[in-house]
Structure 1
Amino acid sequence: MPAPRPASRLTSRPLSRRVVVDSSLSLVGVGVPTWLASRGGWLKGAAGSSTATAATAATVDRAALTARLDQHRTTRGGTMGLVVHDLRNNARFSWRPYTNESLSTIKVLILVACLRKVQDTGVRFTETQHSQARRMIQSSDNAATDALLAWVGTPNVQRAAGLLAMNATVVRGGSAGGWWGYSTTTPADLVTLLDALALGTAVIHAGHRAHIRHLMAGVVPAQRWGVADPPLPESVYTETKNGWGPLTGGYRLNSIGRVTGDGRNYTMAILTRSPQGFAYGKETINGLSRIVHAALVLPL
């Protein structure tokens, strides 16, 4: 079956919005989710005050966010965890993180390693390799991944993980290491990878980072779930890569990406194991993404 055509890149510019709350304004009026605003102490002032007069320094009530995620997990079942990095204020939030098989999220790291090899050796990508890289990221083509991994070598992908400080990631591949999709990683490591692409890294230069992000922005519509869940507002711009597949202990569905616009700017990685297959797991991971996006009307 031919791969779906890549999604067109959104042209909306990221929005910039500062949430300012005054004691004369209702909580709903500033767009704070009801489940977050209804808890006491949802506002945190610079001096630790929970009064609305300190609201110019308002941040997410992490206890409320945790409770909402816990509630979602209880109603859905399975294993799940995430890490989100708010690039507006460099704050992070971690919820039930654990180690999971990467499935196709490892493809972003494979491409980083390939472009690192290009820099180190001076050997350029061929037209075929450019096509393989595009298909690997935008339509999750496994055959293209096999070819690029054979070219760069599994040890060099592991080396790239080390250079990026993805210290909990173990890269598989080749006859001795098993299938690359069974590489193991954590939400924190995947956010580290995303941050390197978004904010800069010495591992690959800016042009290569921009190319990877361009490919991640053009992932085919059918694979834009999780972090890039389509019900997010149209003003939102996303760069994403997902991974999924059946394994003992639950169908793996993982999602990584960056979200900008609608007043937000964050990177996030979500790892899950669904007890009832792909479709059910997709609904579960989409729910996690929407909860976090709603909460981030305020900075972390």
Structure 2
Amino acid sequence: MRVRGISLIAIALLAAAPGWAANPLVTPRPAATAGQPESVVESALSQDDRRALDQALERYLRDRPGRAALAVYDRTTGARYAFHERAPFMLASVGKVDILLAFLLDKQRERRRLSDYERKLAARMIRNSDNDCAHELYLTIGGRKGLAKALRGLGIDHTSPGPGLSWGSTRSLPSDQVEVLERLTDPGGPVSEHNRRYALDLMSSVLPDQAWGVSAAAPRGEVALKNGWLPAHEHDGLWTINSVGRLVVRGHELLIAVLSERSPAMETGIATVEHLARLAVRTLTGSETTVSAARAS
């Protein structure tokens, strides 16, 4: 659903981007998942498909303001794809998913379930994108150091929490945010079944006016998502627009992250993010609407 009239997020943005080495335009990960023959993975996204998708994304972004990047993992086939991961992006409220992951794992280490008050905080943080609730949970996990430690312990190495208590200025790459989604939703991962279902329930029931972004790629599928939107002070008020989530589309379970910055208006950024998500999902799911046919969309 396209957003209209969402209130702005007020986050202190004090961080400067850390230095990062340039990443490849397309970054395939280890191909096969347990129990899957490699041939299935290879057939899921051929080099021709990758090149065609690269070209379609490049062609679309050529006339768009700002910059954007994406990563997607097809859990059904094992295929991975990443695009334009050259420098990190500010996460804004997408960072709330990282906080949720660290918080749930903290509770598991303490061997206890969330209290009613903690559940209220987590629910409002994800469903309502409530910044005060996110701030309180961020303090609970140990702030910047606690989040960094949690992510590093999970092998998520290219995400840098913002300075002080500025969780919204956390910087990351799309592939790292896909890794966050993997750890949060993997049945064999570190999050318990109870907490995994709870997290997906929250992300599947965000407020209607926040149900935009990667959901555009799954109009009739299952969607669990979290978005971030912010007129960034360090970009002279230009918009950071991000969307991450789990989609079930045409029999494929997809984890996808699309990050963008420097859009002149919120809706411009949303249009960019949604179009990139649709192009990537069409390719990975083998939709009858091919990349070439999608060029005019």
TM range (shorter): 0.7 to 0.9
Matched-pair contact (CA < 8 Å) for 1:197–1:210: no
Q: State whether structure 2 residue 155 is matched by structure 1 residue 160.
A: no
How many residue pairs align between the two structures?
242
Q: Residue 94 of structure 2 corresponds to which residue in structure 1?
A: 105
Q: 1:173-188 counterparts in 2 under 5 A?
A: 177-188=164-175
Q: State whether structure 2 residue 252 is matched by structure 1 residue 264.
A: yes
- When normalised by structure 2's length, the TM-score is 0.75
RMSD of the alignment, in Å? 2.4
> Which amino acid is the alignment partner of residue 72 of structure 2?
V
Q: SS in structure 1 opposite 2:55?
A: helix
Q: Residue 199 of structure 1 corresponds to which residue in structure 2?
A: 186
Q: Residue 53 of structure 1 corresponds to which residue in structure 2?
A: none
Misfit runs of 4+, over 3 Å: 56-60, 200-203
Q: 1:221-232 counterparts in 2 under 5 A?
A: 221-229=208-216, 232=218
Matched-pair contact (CA < 8 Å) for 1:163–1:203: no
Q: Residue 129 of structure 1 corresponds to which residue in structure 2?
A: 118
C-alpha deviations, 1:12-45, integer Å up to 9, x for none?
xxxxxxxxxxxxxxxxxxxxxxxxxxxxxxxxxx
C-alpha deviations, 1:98-153, integer Å up to 9, x for none?
30111111111111222222122245432122111001011101011111112222
Q: 1:1-300 counterparts in 2 under 5 A?
A: 57=43, 59=45, 61-97=49-85, 98-154=87-143, 155-172=145-162, 177-200=164-187, 202-229=189-216, 232-234=218-220, 236-247=221-232, 248-249=234-235, 250-298=238-286
Alpha-carbon shift at residue 178 of structure 1 (Å): 4.3
Matched-pair contact (CA < 8 Å) for 2:241–2:261: yes
Alpha-carbon shift at residue 201 of structure 1 (Å): 5.5
Partner Cα separation in structure 2 for residue 184 and residue 271 of structure 1: 11
Distance 1:111-1:83 versus aligned 2 partners, 3 A rule: same
Partner Cα separation in structure 1 for residue 271 and residue 249 of structure 2: 23
Partner Cα separation in structure 1 for residue 187 and residue 150 of structure 2: 14
Partner Cα separation in structure 1 for residue 110 and residue 285 of structure 2: 45
Between structure 1 and structure 2, the one with the greater Rg is 1
Structure 2: tracts of 5 or more residues without a match: 1-5, 7-38, 288-297
Q: SS in structure 2 opposite 1:296?
A: helix
Distance 1:201-1:157 versus aligned 2 partners, 3 A rule: farther
Structure 1: tracts of 5 or more residues without a match: 5-47, 49-55
Alpha-carbon shift at residue 271 of structure 1 (Å): 0.8
Matched-pair contact (CA < 8 Å) for 2:247–2:254: yes
Partner Cα separation in structure 2 for residue 202 and residue 71 of structure 1: 37
Overall identity of the aligned pairs, in %: 29
C-alpha deviations, 1:180-230, integer Å up to 9, x for none?
10011111110111111222465332221221111111112211222112x
C-alpha deviations, 1:146-190, integer Å up to 9, x for none?
1111222212222211122110111236xxx24110011111110
Distance 1:201-1:101 versus aligned 2 partners, 3 A rule: farther
Q: SS in structure 2 opposite 1:88?
A: coil
Distance 1:221-1:68 versus aligned 2 partners, 3 A rule: same
Alpha-carbon shift at residue 255 of structure 1 (Å): 0.8
Matched-pair contact (CA < 8 Å) for 2:88–2:173: yes
> Which amino acid is the alignment partner of residue 61 of structure 2?
R
